[in-house]
Amino acid sequence: MSIREQLKEVIENNEIILFMKGTPDFPQCGFSGRTAQILRACDVKFASVDVLADHSVREGIKQYSNWPTVPQLYVRGEFIGGCDIMTELYESGELEKILKPEAAAGNG
């Protein structure tokens, strides 16, 4: 299975997945750390992939989304963005709606 297919599978098998440098508990880059913090602030369960552990993942994910940097967030198979966009979405409250659509729908 090609790296692309492996990425597609892991992205589609996890509702919320963050590709980052390091892990949420031990981020290896400020931007990656920030995105993990944002997801924790939104109080959602998420999977994370340490791209530093595997060079083919680190390069493959950039091709996959046509996005040259990490971190990268995917929700229900859709590429949401990097640290910049996640911060903007979080500050505007849109990120919570993306992460928890059922909750957003609930309160009208």
85, 57 in Cβ contact below 8 A?
A: no
Window 15 to 44, contacts with another protein (CB under 8 A): 31
Look at strands 78-81 and 72-75 and give their pairing. Answer: antiparallel
- Residue 60 interacts with another protein (CB under 8 A)? no
Question: For another protein, which stretch binds (CB under 8 A), given 16-24, 45-53, 64-72, 98-106?
Answer: 64-72
Two structure tokens written together for 14? 């996890």
- Tell me how far the alpha carbon of residue 71 is from its chain's centroid: 7
Judged by CB under 8 A, the stretch of 13-21, 48-56, 67-75, 99-107 that binds another protein is 67-75
Q: In which residue are the tokens 């849109």 written?
A: 94
Please report how close the Cβ of residue 78 comes to another protein at its closest, in angstroms. 9
88 binds another protein (CB under 8 A): yes
Q: Are 6 and 59 in contact (CB under 8 A)?
A: no
Task: Name the segment binding another protein (CB under 8 A); options: 10-18, 42-50, 77-85, 99-107.
Answer: 77-85
Question: Taking a C-beta distance cutoff of 8 angstroms, is the pair 62, 56 a contact?
Answer: no
Q: Which residues bind another protein (CB under 8 A)?
A: 31, 66-69, 79-85, 88-89
